[in-house]
Structure 1
């Protein structure tokens, strides 16, 4: 047996080395997977950023092209032509303001209800004359009329037109003025509905993106465009969803400031992005990649923890083998020594011979108990149907107590029983091993000359009959923080290792396992001032 244990211990360095190699390989594999995942994630993000940057640049191109168009369509072809026609019509009748009110050239389309002008005016010698497109004399609101009469003519010194962007009663108002015959002013109020139609016409006429992009397939259908005036009022388009990357162009004093402080906002739709960018937008695999990386990290952590547990279990097994070898060697040594003494007739008297025989008997009982525990531990758990035997509890427990008498007497331990008579159908070997282990623990870890109490009583609970067996000792007790650990295989309290108390660490594990097999329950309580109470409950309904 000792040689076999020695060979098992010889494997320990190799096992430890293999465990280190597995741990290193696990870490390397994890790092490689994380690196690959990170590279994939980085590539997708870089591609996405590149696509986003290109789309933003395309949106800027479209905004720039639209601003160029409206300067020509609205500024030159619209406002400039409208103002020239109004100037021509006024010059024909400047000698009589009343004739201006009769609206010459009323048949001209630029002075129709669809024209860019809404109200036409002349300011001469600080007098204001206003007519509408229907050629009836109208009035401006006093605040607007005051702006026109008191307009600073110096603003027209170096440019043909000036624009007044204001609002009245919450409504945006745009006025266009030009100098007429020295310090007089001509102009009109912009018709916002006509302006909107002209802006939409500028947008619809052709693609805002160059033909070289997507071989001319990039039509305005992929463009989202809106334009707001100086007050934020929408002139064309709709508000663009915040999910899009919007390019904003703020107009300043281009073309005499006809759109000063107006904003053009453009975004590119991503529905048919493949037509614009080779490869298109990368598939949205970010959630999958992130989820995969998280799963890999979780698997790594779980595997690493499991590996650590296996290493701890391996160390516990190694310690178990060493302690079992010691536990076996001690009784065998004493049995052999006292047997040889008796064989060689070295006992001095009959009393000494009896003492040697008692030692041999005690150590053989301890050895038998240890071997039975090891064999029971090494066997698989019994998951099938157990063979039950009808037992009278009191006589059976007395038999077990007599079985450990040599060990008990050696430490002057007394056992006091207070048992209620009862018969129970139970697996005999499991029951015997449970009681032997509990009593052996109480004797081994308790002081000399202690009294162990065994109490048994029948309990009725919720219509069920159980037999509660309580084993009380006078030992040092078990701290509550270890009450869960003691049922684990190989576990021993730190103080037991420090005090060099012999043991294998499988006794209470076996107790818990065997109690479960017989459908019982067991729990531990500390006693005051010291000691432990093990409460074993057995089902009597099957008896």
Structure 2
């Protein structure tokens, strides 16, 4: 696992941070990827032959820092699609192929960037030299000894045994400096995702008696096996926890970066146009009005962001309190749409409302407004310029239903539940220029749940995405529903 964390994972992370999977972006060479990495990963990348980008749809292969020989190129083009299909795990986001091809030992370490549909799109990786693994194996023995010193009689760990690592064809990749007779020997292979490399180990023969603790029966193999099993279990739990900690740290970093960007942009606009007005640089009344409109729009954006952060902070401390009361929803939804209209117009978006009259529910007006603003902001932010966003209110199955339809790319079916998690963003949006905090939809779902409702995402009629929230109707209004059909009020607010 030291090879995973110290070499393979930093390599694919460097490729991801370079956004090499985005169309039209330059492909960095291995030496450029090595800048700023720890010594082991940097050592591996500096010895790599080249970095590559392979389009799974067109089978086009690009390289940087070097070029493979024709035989190696053919092997890479033929092998990558099969390996991605059979071995690559999207949850781990990396895989390795260790083979001897065209007379050279190769360690192909790669990750896969998703296409617009959320499936495998582009393979990003490097062709490295497995000889660089030697330093990693040595460091792993020193940092993570499997047996405590008292159990080994004080013998240092690298003297307990010997190891040989080969590729699948049996060609040697690493040999420990000292080798022992295979009196006590074993063979195993690392998992396929890590290259399926066989590992041969042999225990130093004169160490076998020293591993027996006084007072225990002479045959300690069953207990040693139990100890090894427990150790393996603890290591697995620790590795899982480390991965969760790393993912949480990355998500928090993205959150801080997103909030900083979201704050900086409107503040810069407010400051610039305020200075323009203070210094008397406007040349006409129209310019003055336009400057004031922009200041008002950016102030609304800041207010919306701050309210989101306050809701998120309260939910983290479980301090969110609502004051629901019976209220007709159409006026509240219309008011939220009118408040968001200037922000939609500033981005060239047409905002339409299709509201049914007479829908009454138990709601907290401020919380409902925050939910609607978050959904509208999400639709405008991730949809195309010039689109039409429709805000609808209706009744279905005895519940009030509010829908926000956009004309954007929609949400892949596999991600429609995860988008409501804190800090989580779609893979296609992480490398885009669209900023975000990653908390807007999580705030919506929490507020909906506190109302006793539910929220989900689906495809909009025709094209685009639809976000839906359902709220319980006010009991008396629900009982009086037999009076007649609801009348819909449709119009454009921006």
TM-score by length of 1: 0.46
Query: Following TM superposition, by how much is the alpha carbon of 1:314 offset from its aligned partner in structure 2, in angstroms?
Result: 0.9
Aligned to 2:383: 446
SS in 2 for 1:533: strand
SS in 2 for 1:491: coil
Alpha-carbon displacement from aligned partner over 1:368-401 (angstroms, at most 9, x marks no partner) = 1112212222222547764223322000011111
Matches within 5 A, 1:204-219: none
- Supply the distance in 1 between the matched residues of 2:142 and 2:463 (Cα, whole angstroms): 48
SS in 2 for 1:309: helix
Aligned mate of 2:273, from 335, 338, 346 = 338
Aligned to 1:434: 371
Alpha-carbon displacement from aligned partner over 1:249-299 (angstroms, at most 9, x marks no partner) = xxxxxxxxxxxxxxxxxxxxxxxxxxxxxx999499877764554343223
Matches within 5 A, 1:192-211: none
Figure out how many residues of one structure are paired with residues of the other and give that number: 280
- Supply the distance in 2 between the matched residues of 1:473 and 1:383 (Cα, whole angstroms): 33
- Supply the distance in 2 between the matched residues of 1:422 and 1:288 (Cα, whole angstroms): 69
Work out whether 1:508 is the aligned partner of 2:448. no
Question: Would the alpha carbon gap of residues 514 and 290 (structure 1) be closer, same or farther in structure 2, given more than 3 Å must change?
Answer: farther
Question: Would the alpha carbon gap of residues 528 and 426 (structure 1) be closer, same or farther in structure 2, given more than 3 Å must change?
Answer: closer
Query: Following TM superposition, by how much is the alpha carbon of 1:446 offset from its aligned partner in structure 2, in angstroms?
Result: 1.2
Query: Following TM superposition, by how much is the alpha carbon of 1:362 offset from its aligned partner in structure 2, in angstroms?
Result: 0.4
Work out whether 1:425 is the aligned partner of 2:333. no
Q: Where does the alignment leave 5 or more consecutive residues of structure 2 unmatched?
A: 1-36, 39-138, 155-213, 477-494
Aligned to 2:147: 32
Alpha-carbon displacement from aligned partner over 1:218-243 (angstroms, at most 9, x marks no partner) = xxxxxxxxxxxxxxxxxxxxxxxxxx
SS in 2 for 1:32: coil
Aligned to 1:260: none
Matches within 5 A, 1:400-479: 400-420=336-356, 421-460=358-397, 465-479=398-412
**Which structure is higher in helix share?**
1
Aligned mate of 1:353, from 270, 278, 288 = 288
- Supply the distance in 1 between the matched residues of 2:341 and 2:264 (Cα, whole angstroms): 22
Q: Is the 8 A contact 2:322 2:367 kept in 1?
A: no
Work out whether 1:368 is the aligned partner of 2:289. no
- Supply the distance in 1 between the matched residues of 2:216 and 2:439 (Cα, whole angstroms): 63
- Superposed CA RMSD: 3.5
Aligned mate of 2:330, from 369, 394, 398 = 394
Give the number of the structure whose alpha-carbon radius of gyration is greater. 1
Query: Following TM superposition, by how much is the alpha carbon of 1:332 offset from its aligned partner in structure 2, in angstroms?
Result: 0.5
Alpha-carbon displacement from aligned partner over 1:175-212 (angstroms, at most 9, x marks no partner) = xxxxxxxxxxxxxxxxxxxxxxxxxxxxxxxxxxxxxx
Q: Is the 8 A contact 2:276 2:282 kept in 1?
A: yes
SS in 1 for 2:147: helix
Query: Following TM superposition, by how much is the alpha carbon of 1:525 offset from its aligned partner in structure 2, in angstroms?
Result: 0.8
Alpha-carbon displacement from aligned partner over 1:68-117 (angstroms, at most 9, x marks no partner) = xxxxxxxxxxxxxxxxxxxxxxxxxxxxxxxxxxxxxxxxxxxxxxxxxx
Question: Would the alpha carbon gap of residues 291 and 419 (structure 1) be closer, same or farther in structure 2, given more than 3 Å must change?
Answer: farther
Q: Where does the alignment leave 5 or more consecutive residues of structure 1 unmatched?
A: 1-15, 18-23, 40-278
